[in-house]
Amino acid sequence: MRRLCIDLGTENQVGVIVVSAGRGSRMGTQESKQYLMLEDKPIIMHTLDIFEQMPLVKEVVLVTGADDIPRCEQWIRDYGLGKVTKVIAGGSERQQSVYNGLMEIGTEWVMVHDGVRPFVEPEHIEACYRKALQEGAAVLAVPVKDTIKQVNDSGTILATPDRRSLWAIHTPQAFRLSDLKRAHERAAADGFAGTDDSMLVERLGIPVAVVEGSYTNIKITTPEDLEYAAFMQKRKGEKKG
């Protein structure tokens, strides 16, 4: 295991890629899920604002659909998100979108986050970053609550993995920029499509550490998620009040 001894200072150390280029057909709306309103502003602006407020973040690159760049740039100005340095077009798949973002990041370390996870806690973001500094790479995750079954194509259970070894992986995920670039380039050369960025880094033989996050760090993908998000946002406002 590659263990790193690095200064754990948190001032302007990391760049963030926020991926927001998907259409989200499961939401069942004409508007893309990341641009739906959550209380007073689009979901994606709630997400960006979390990183805007964090001292450890130096720059944020927003990756979105080419047609959505103008309105995102306008919202960024309207909401005063000064750390968002670039808004760029994504690719046809998430993996290409992340790689496009990597080409625009100038920090040694990078975090990748889903644009539709607006409830990630700042302390968990920082914990993930610090763990990456120590171990080389890290992801936020939560232990799986349910019993998981491995099922074949005909719907028959093949195995029941030990739940204690299973974690649901979230974002952000944190890596050394050079490692993540290399992982993406290797995957592209091999024609390999991963389900997240850590999967690509794992293929290089780089261990990825897990940092326990929160079950409230939901990915808003369905109408039910949006209803729950509205409840969480209301409760968040009540706590501040």
**Sequence ranges of the domains in the chain:** 14-139+169-240
Give this prediction's pTM.
0.91
Name the residue type at position 8.
L
Q: Are 15 and 175 in contact (CB under 8 A)?
A: no
The answer to whether residue 4 scores a pLDDT higher than 90 is no
pLDDT tens digits, residue range 152-190? 999 999 999 999 999 999 999 999 999 999 999 999 999
Neighbours of 194 (CB within 10 A): 17
> How do residues 13-57 score in pLDDT, each as one tens digit?
899 999 998 765 555 566 778 999 998 899 999 999 999 999 999
Nearest to 203 by CA among 219, 216, 190: 190
Q: What percent of the chain has pLDDT over 70?
A: 90
Mean pLDDT of the region 75-84: 97
SS3 3: coil
pLDDT at residue 236, rounded to an integer: 79
Weakest-pLDDT range from 24-33, 97-106, 183-192, 215-224: 24-33
pLDDT at res. 121 = 97
Evaluate the CA torsion angle 188, 59, 171, 92 in order and state its sign: negative
3-state secondary structure of 187: helix
Identify the CATH number of the domain defined by range 14-139+169-240.
Answer: 3.90.550.10
Residue 23, pLDDT score: 66
- In one-letter notation, the amino acid at residue 87 is V
- Whole-angstrom CA distances from 192 to 157, 164, 183, 184, 187 are 28, 29, 10, 9, 5
